[in-house]
Structures are given as C-alpha cells and as structure tokens.
Amino acid sequence: MNAELQACGLDVGSTTAKIVAIDRAGRMRWWHLEPAEPRVEEQVARLIDLAGTAGVDLQTAPLVATGYGRNLVAGAARTVTEITCHARGIRQEFPGGGVLVDIGGQDSKVIHISPQGAVVDFAMNDKCAAGTGRFLENTAARLGVALEDLGRLTLSSSDEVPITSTCTVFAESEVISLLAKGVRLEPILRGVHRSLVRRLVAMIRGIGAASPLLLSGGVAQNQAVAQLLSEEMGRPVQVSAHPQLVGAYGAALTALEMRPSRA
C-alpha cells in the first residue's frame, strides 16, 4: 500500500468513469479514466480494485462518489452531487471563484462559484444533446474526423458556414448536405462549434457572468471550444489542467476533508 494516497474520488459520468487518489496536501497522485460501461456496478467494482492495485488502502482512505452513477458505488463513504464536486475541484486549481463551464458527454453545466468557494447558482443542460460533447462526437463520427483533431481543424479556417438547425439530428443532416454541396469541411466545423458555444453562452448569461471564466469536462480538450467561447464572451477563458478529472478530484478533496485526522 502507498501511505501517501490518503483519499479517493470516483466520478461515474455518462460518457467516462474517472477515479483519482490524492495525498495529504490534496495533490493528485494517481488517476484512471475509461469509457463508461452499461454495467455500472461491475465497472465501479473493477475501478475500486484498480485503485487498490495502485496502492490505495481503501480501509483508511475514504472514497467519495459523484456523477450520474454515484448511487451505484458500493463502498463509498459518501455520495456528493456533481455540482458540489466540480466547484470543489476547480477551486483547488483556481481559487477565488468565477464561472465554471463544464461540458461533458451528455450534459453541460454552468456553475457560479463565490470567491469563498461556495456555489452561488448553477444551470444544467441534460435535455438537449446540441449543447454537449455528444453533438461534437456525432459530428466527428459522421465526418470521419478523430475527436482529437476537431479543434485544430476548426481553427485552421477563418471561414465559417452557419448551422441553422437547433437539434443535433437535424444539424447532422445539415452538415452532410453542406458537404454534398461541396462546402469545405473546416468552415462547416467552425459553424458546428459556434452553434455549441452559443448554447453555452446563453446558459452563462442566464447565470450572470462573473469573472474569471473557467472551462472543464472532456470537451475542454477541444481548443476551438475555448477559443470561440472566449470570442463570444469577449474575455479570456481558463482551461483546467485536467479538465476531465475536475469532478473526481473535487470528490477526492471532499473525502480528504472527512478524514478524522483533519477534523
């Protein structure tokens, strides 16, 4: 066992599952991320075993679970909402509050965090795929573009073709028919990203824009999203260093705060 690993956070997302172990000072020491599986309980049990193999002593290191599947985590000392965990995780990296925009695979959230780290207000979109990573995933798959290349290709063109459909399914058809008409891929991608970003901007404005603007979630790895969001909002956007792990990290920090030695 590795005595340095003092607490664990597990984020069971709709698209990916992430587990993080931290040391006494709250530093991330070990993590693992993989695609979400339909048999959540089995996956969770395997991830917990994996943490054990990595040296986490789960008898002494508490585990906090978050994410949509958090209630299926047997062995969690506590379950905590994604909003609370994301706010806690991002505060460690960017103390002083702001507005966190988290874009995951099937939902997006905007969280207003006070300078003291409290959640002031939040908005969540889990109804419409067009404002989530799923929209970009589907578009990339349709166009035969790797997810990792989306951002670079999008930013490689300053031309943009607007996408007028508001629903993912219709937007995908629109993209295909634009390609069939001979429109270049890059300006279409720029239009697709603009459409996603405008949805986020509407959510941010609904919450009330507080500075700084912070970005997390798997989609934060797409540099075009950060750049277009910054353009639309007219201010800089700061991207988390481990954007997909913010929720799991926040869960681990919450677990660390539960340890009796720190009470």
Query: Can you give the binding site for ligand ADP, defined by CB under 6 A?
Result: 13-16, 36, 104-107, 133-134, 136-137, 147-148, 150, 217-219, 221-222, 244
SS3 130: helix
Distance CA 100, CA 112 (A): 6
Rounded least distance, CB 20 to ligand ADP, Å? 13
Q: Which helix (H) or strand (E) holds 50?
A: helix 40-53
> DSSP class of residue 102?
E
Rounded least distance, CB 133 to ligand ADP, Å? 3
Closest to ligand ADP by CB, 6 or 65: 65
Rounded least distance, CB 80 to ligand ADP, Å? 15
Show the tokens assigned to 258. 């539960």
Rounded least distance, CB 247 to ligand ADP, Å? 7
CA angle, 186 then 188 then 193, to 5°: 95
Closest to ligand ADP by CB, 13 or 62: 13
Distance CA 85, CA 247 (A): 5
Q: Which helix (H) or strand (E) holds 88?
A: helix 82-93
Closest to ligand ADP by CB, 17 or 99: 17
Closest to ligand ADP by CB, 6 or 70: 70
Rounded least distance, CB 64 to ligand ADP, Å? 16
Show the tokens assigned to 76. 């969690």
Q: Which residue is nearest to ligand ADP (CB)?
A: 218
Closest to ligand ADP by CB, 91 or 134: 134
> DSSP class of residue 36?
-
